[in-house]
Each structure stands twice: as structure tokens, then as C-alpha cells.
Amino acid sequence: MAGSARPTIARIWRGRTPSEKADEYEAYNHEHGIKPLIEKALGVQSFREDRGAETEFVTISYWESVEAMARFTGADPRDIHHLDRDPEFLVELPTSVQILRIVASHGRTGGDGA
């Protein structure tokens, strides 16, 4: 995670696509959703679960504070900011994100796609 600031907040977004659109959405989401987060958040993790007819994507971004998230989103960080093509890909548009306070962190995670 970037710099010396420590994350105290995790913002979790979830979305589902039909499995046949999952690879295309993964590439689109990375280019238009994840890359901007990488530039602003302390860290970003992307997850994918293929489940038969649907694929779920989960993005967790880590922030030093709710105020830092608000500076990035330009509004309430709990508000959803859909990507332009989300309606084309997603089974349903998410209506909320989850914001959690980090109370403890143990072990090692990370890597660049490893």
C-alpha cells in the first residue's frame, strides 16, 4: 500500500455479470474502474468468483479515512458511481457499497497479480 499512511477504512463494491460477459467486463472494469482507484486509494484488491451462469466481482479499496474517500468520489463515499458501460454488463446495478472500519490486520497479502 502506498506511502506511509495506514488504511483505517475499507470500501467494498460488488457486482455480477453473466458468465459469458465476465472476461470482457473484467478488462473494462480494470481499465476504467480499478486504475483510477489505484492512483488515489492506499491499496486496491480485485476478486472474481465464477459461479455457473454468473460471475461476481468484488473490489476492496483501502483508505486512510472516510474524508479521503470523499475527496476521491467528490460526494458521499457510500454513493455508487457506476461506470458508463455497467448497465451493459451487470445483471443489476449495485445500489450500495459497504464501508468497514479496519480494526486489525494480520499476515501478508498483496503482490501484483500473483
How many whole angstroms separate alpha carbon 91 and alpha carbon 56?
10
**Each residue of 21-53: pLDDT tens digit?**
999 999 999 999 999 999 999 999 999 999 999
- Give me Rg for the CA atoms of the chain: 14
Question: What local confidence, expressed as pLDDT, does residue 57 receive?
Answer: 98
Q: Which stretches in the chain have pLDDT values below 70?
A: 1-4, 109-114
3.40.50.1820, 1.20.1290.10, 3.30.70.100, 3.40.50.450: which CATH number matches 9-101? 3.30.70.100
Q: With H, G, I as helix, E, B as strand and everything else as coil, classify residue 34.
A: helix
Give the residue extent of every domain in the chain: 9-101
